[in-house]
Amino acid sequence: MDMGLEALVIIFALTVLVIGGGRLVYLTFYLGQISSALGLPLGFVYIIIPISGFFFIFYSVDNILSIKKSENDG
């Protein structure tokens, strides 16, 4: 069951955070939107969304490997 949940997290992170976040970053750079508070393009602000998606995927894969290792050991 734990591996199934981790697989769901990977699917969510890939589709929503990485792909959707990447499209958001591209769109904000393409439209040239600027943050009024920071004076930076909003693409730089939103770039954390796909980056966090990659971290979600990395740690979910790490959890899956840990689960498989513990199943083999025990």
Model confidence pLDDT, tens digit, residues 31-66:
999 999 999 999 999 999 999 999 999 999 999 999
The pTM score is 0.88
Average pLDDT, integer, range 9-35: 97
- Determine the pLDDT at residue 73: 87
**Alpha helix (H) residue ranges in the chain:** 2-12, 21-31, 42-46, 48-73
Confidence of residue 8 (pLDDT cuts 50, 70, 90): very high
Mean pLDDT of all residues belonging to the chain: 95
Every domain of the chain and the residues it spans: 2-68
Alpha-carbon gap, residue 46 to 24, rounded angstroms: 7
Whose tokens are 């602000």? That residue is 45
Distance, in Å, from the CA atom of 71 to the CA atom of 68, rounded to the nearest integer, reads 5
C-alpha angle 10/17/45, rounded to 5°? 145
